[in-house]
C-alpha cells in the first residue's frame, strides 16, 4: 500500500475541542477481516497449502486515525493541510517548505520554530505537519499549547499530581508541537516547567516543533548583554518582544541546536481578518 489513506480515505472533523480523524470505511464492516484487523489468505507452495495472516489495510487506517486523534490538535485545525496553506511572502514560502521537508523526510531533519504575528498560519503548519506524520507514517505526535499545559499542571497539583507526571509523557512522544512559546506570565513555575520539558526532550534527542508570537532575534539584540538565567528572565522578559528574553538563555540556546528558525515579517497579513474567511464553512 503506497500510503495509509489508499485503504479507503479518511474524514477529518471536530469532536468537542479537538480535531478527529475517522476512516471512511469502518473496520467492523470489513469483508476481508470481519473486524479482526487480520486477513487470512491461502497460498500453495511445493504442493502444500499454507495460510498467510497479514494486517488488514482498514486496521492500519484505524491505527493511523487513532495516532492522529491522540495528538489532540485544536478542533479549528481539523482541515489544515500543506496544500491549503497559501504563502503571501518569502518567509511563509520558506516556512511551508521547511515544514513539508521535515514531514516528508522524517526522521532525517531537526525541528523548526515558526515566529510571526497573529493569524499567519503558524498553528496551521504545525497541524499539517502532525497530520502528515500521524496519518501517513503512524508517528506518535502530540500538540500542546503552552498556557494550557501550565494550567493543566496547576490543576494537577490540586489532585496531588506532580508536574513531572504530566511532563513525562510529553518528553517521550516522537514529535511534540509546542505552540504559543513565550506566552504566559513568565513566572518561576512556568519557566521551570518549560525548562524541564525542553531539557528532557533535548537530552533524549527528541524532535520538537514550536510556534511563537515573539521574535527569534538573538540575545545580542538586547540593549545590555549579560547572562540571562531563569531569575533574570523573570524580570527582563516581562515586556520584551524577543523570545530569548521570554524563555531565558538556557532554553533559547537549546532551541538554536534543535531547530531551524523561520520568522515572518511584522506586516504578514492576519488571515483571520481576510475577506476570504467570510462565509467559510466551520471546520
Ligand X SMILES: Nc1ncnc2c1ncn2[C@@H]1O[C@H](COP(=O)(O)OP(=O)(O)OP(=O)(O)O)[C@@H](O)[C@H]1O
* 8 A C-beta contact, residue 93 and residue 81: no
Residue 25 contacts ligand X per CB under 6 A: no
By rule CB under 6 A, what string of x and - marks binding of each residue 178-197 to ligand X?
Answer: --------------------
CB of 120 to ligand X, least distance (A): 4
CB of 191 to ligand X, least distance (A): 21
Residue 123 contacts Mg ion per CB under 5 A: yes
By rule CB under 6 A, what string of x and - marks binding of each residue 194-233 to ligand X?
Answer: -----------------x-x--------------------
Residue 124 contacts ligand X per CB under 6 A: yes
Contacts of 4 (CB under 8 A, 6+ apart): 10, 60, 61, 64, 135, 136, 138
Stretch that binds ligand X, among 37-45, 82-90, 155-163, 196-204 (CB under 6 A): 82-90
Residue 119 contacts ligand X per CB under 6 A: yes
Stretch that binds Mg ion, among 42-50, 120-128, 239-247, 254-262 (CB under 5 A): 120-128
147 versus 172: smaller Cβ distance to Mg ion: 147
Applying the rule CB under 6 A, the residues between 94 and 113 that interact with ligand X are none
Stretch that binds ligand X, among 25-33, 77-85, 162-170, 182-190 (CB under 6 A): 77-85
Which parts of this chain interact with Mg ion (CB under 5 A)?
123
Which parts of this chain interact with ligand X (CB under 6 A)?
80, 84-87, 92, 116, 118-124, 211, 213, 271-272
Amino acid at each position: 500500500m503506497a500510503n495509509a489513506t489508499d485503504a479507503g480515505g479518511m474524514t477529518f472533523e471536530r469532536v468537542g475541542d479537538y480535531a478527529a480523524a475517522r476512516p471512511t470505511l469502518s473496520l467492523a464492516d470489513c469483508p476481508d477481516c470481519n473486524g479482526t484487523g487480520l486477513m487470512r489468505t491461502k497460498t500453495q507452495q511445493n504442493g502444500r497449502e499454507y495460510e498467510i495472516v497479514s494486517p488488514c489495510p482498514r486496521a492500519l487506517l484505524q491505527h493511523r486515525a487513532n495516532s492522529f486523534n491522540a495528538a489532540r490538535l485544536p478542533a479549528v485545525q481539523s482541515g489544515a493541510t500543506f496544500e491549503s496553506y497559501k504563502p503571501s511572502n518569502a518567509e511563509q514560502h520558506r516556512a511551508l517548505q521547511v515544514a513539508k521537508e521535515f514531514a516528508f523526510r522524517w526522521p532525517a531533519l531537526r525541528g523548526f520554530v515558526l515566529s510571526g504575528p497573529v493569524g499567519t498560519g503558524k498553528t496551521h503548519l504545525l497541524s499539517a505537519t502532525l497530520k502528515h506524520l500521524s496519518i501517513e507514517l503512524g508517528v506518535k505526535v502530540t500538540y500542546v499549547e503552552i498556557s494550557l499545559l501550565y494550567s493543566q499542571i496547576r490543576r494537577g497539583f490540586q489532585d496531588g499530581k506532580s508536574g513531572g507526571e504530566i511532563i513525562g509523557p510529553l518528553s517521550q512522544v516522537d514529535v511534540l508541537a509546542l505552540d504559543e512559546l513565550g506566552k504566559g506570565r513568565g513566572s518561576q513555575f512556568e519557566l521551570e516547567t518549560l525548562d524541564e520539558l525542553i531539557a528532557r526532550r533535548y537530552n533524549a534527542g527528541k524532535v520538537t516543533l514550536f510556534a511563537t508570537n515573539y521574535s527569534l532575534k538573538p540575545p545580542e539584540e538586547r540593549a545590555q548583554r549579560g547572562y540571562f538565567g531563569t531569575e533574570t528572565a523573570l524580570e527582563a522578559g516581562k515586556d520584551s518582544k524577543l523570545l530569548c528574553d521570554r524563555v531565558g538563555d538556557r532554553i533559547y540556546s537549546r532551541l538554536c541546536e534543535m531547530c531551524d528558525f523561520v520568522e515572518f515579517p511584522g506586516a504578514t497579513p492576519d488571515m483571520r481578518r481576510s475577506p476570504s474567511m467570510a462565509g467559510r464553512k466551520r471546520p
